């Protein structure tokens, strides 16, 4: 089916899930984070429910795995001297 989504990754820390989701979206993969607000509201539940999940459409699973592997290799990391703009 067109709208079948599958879990590509799970994180106990919702912020990390959103960071990885952003990397997937930057790689052209439509991704969404689920259960992040539940985990954020009660961190003790995170292990019980499996943490915050990142879902991607089945048809993008191969591309998502490649982007996730690139993230794990550090390819999305900023250099120490990266100019990220002036603080607001």
pLDDT along the chain (88 residues), means of 10: 85 94 96 94 88 96 96 89 84
Residue 88 inside a domain? The answer is: no
The predicted structure's pLDDT at residue 79: 87
Q: Distance between CA atoms of 7 and 76, rounded to whole angstroms?
A: 21
**Quick check: is 81 in a domain?**
no
> Which pLDDT belongs to residue 24?
97
Task: List C-alpha distances in Å: 13 to 9, 62, 70.
Answer: 12, 24, 20
Residue 17 lies in a domain: yes
Q: 58 lies in a domain?
A: yes
Domain that holds residue 67: 5-73
pTM for the model stands at 0.84
> What is the structure's pLDDT at 15?
94
The pLDDT assigned to 77 comes to: 86
In a domain, residue 9? The reply is: yes
Instruction: Answer whether residue 20 is part of any domain.
Output: yes
28: tokens are 């052209």
Q: Please tell me what DSSP assigns to residue 7.
A: E
What is the number of domains present in the chain?
Answer: 1
80 within domain boundaries: no
CA distance 28 to 22: 10
Amino acid 84: pLDDT: 82
């Amino acid at each position: 089916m067109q709208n079948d989504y599958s879990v590509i990754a799970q994180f106990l820390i919702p912020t990390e899930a959103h960071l990885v989701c952003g990397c997937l979206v930057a790689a052209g993969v439509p991704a969404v984070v689920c259960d992040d607000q539940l985990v954020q509201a009660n961190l003790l539940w995170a292990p019980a429910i499996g943490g915050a999940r990142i879902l991607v459409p089945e048809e993008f699973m191969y591309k998502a795995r490649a982007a996730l592997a690139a993230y794990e290799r550090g390819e999305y990391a900023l250099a120490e001297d990266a100019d990220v703009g002036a603080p607001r």
